[in-house]
Amino acid sequence: MAHPLDGVQLKCERARCHLNTLKAQFDAFTRDAFRIRHDIKDHGREHVYRIVRLKKPRPEWGPIIGDCLGNAESALDCLAYQLAVLHTGRLTPNLARDIRFPVYPSPSAFWNNLPRLRPIGPGLVAPLERLQPYHGARGPDNHWLMILKRLSAFDKHRTVHTTGYRFGGMAHHEPDSLIDTAFPRGQLKLGAVLARFVFDPPAPEADVNPSFTVHITFKDTPLADGVEVLPMLNTMCTRVDAVVDTFRSLFS
């Protein structure tokens, strides 16, 4: 016999499937995203590693990210629908059309929209209110639920863009003459400096054999510009699963 949350679970699994697809493609991209040139300056005092060839992020990643966001958000809306059915029974077309999982930036916005939760029933108002983004330690704009809502809305009208971003690196060989190391952070661009090393005394023959930490981040998107894609999507998928589990016992 079908369980009321079967459809919700399928959407959660589909969101996770898109996330796994992105992870595999991101891993392949970052292994071969760029080529570097090792420049030696000031008779070997300064060594600079910069990008001389660069692959562009694949444009199809945007729709895949959008599908992940859409399924995660839809799972919550389907959960709200099933909670309304559990409380109200058969829903009228108008009620069914207007059922959404509540996501509000402030307590006043939540309570002003309380009539929208009437089909779900008064017994679930408090649990839903506790999940609201304004309870987040860093405010509603940094809460995963608000970011999910706004990114999903953004994707409905525009493509989500991504970019490669350098987060740091490591020198695998550090001679005693190495006195300063820098791994500038920022978007991957042709000519961008990935690392700078200073030697005293100068070491024109040195090569510290650096490696670089590169990830894919959101680009030109609300609330998430410069944020790593995979950790953010993973957080959303994990938290949506947890929200669904919070209400699962009601359907036993």
Question: What is the residue range of 19's domain?
Answer: 6-251
Residue 192 lies in a domain: yes
- What proportions of the chain, in percent to the nearest 5, are helix, strand and coil? 50, 20, 30
Q: For the residues 21-37, what does the mean pLDDT come to?
A: 95
pLDDT tens per residue across span 34-89 = 999 999 999 999 999 999 999 999 999 999 999 999 999 999 999 999 999 999 88
pTM: 0.92
Residue 74 lies in a domain: yes
Comparing CA positions, the residue from 45, 55, 69 lying closest to residue 25 is 55
Is residue 21 exposed (0-12), middle (13-18) or buried (19+ Cβ within 10 Å)?
Answer: middle
Percent with pLDDT over 70 in the chain = 100
pLDDT tens per residue across span 164-197 = 999 999 999 999 999 999 999 999 999 999 999 9
Residue 1 lies in a domain: no
- Res 90: pLDDT: 82
User: In terms of residues, how long is the chain?
Assistant: 252
Domains of the chain: total:
1
Q: For the residues 28-38, what does the mean pLDDT come to?
A: 94
CB 43 within 8 Å of CB 177:
no
120: pLDDT strictly greater than 80:
yes
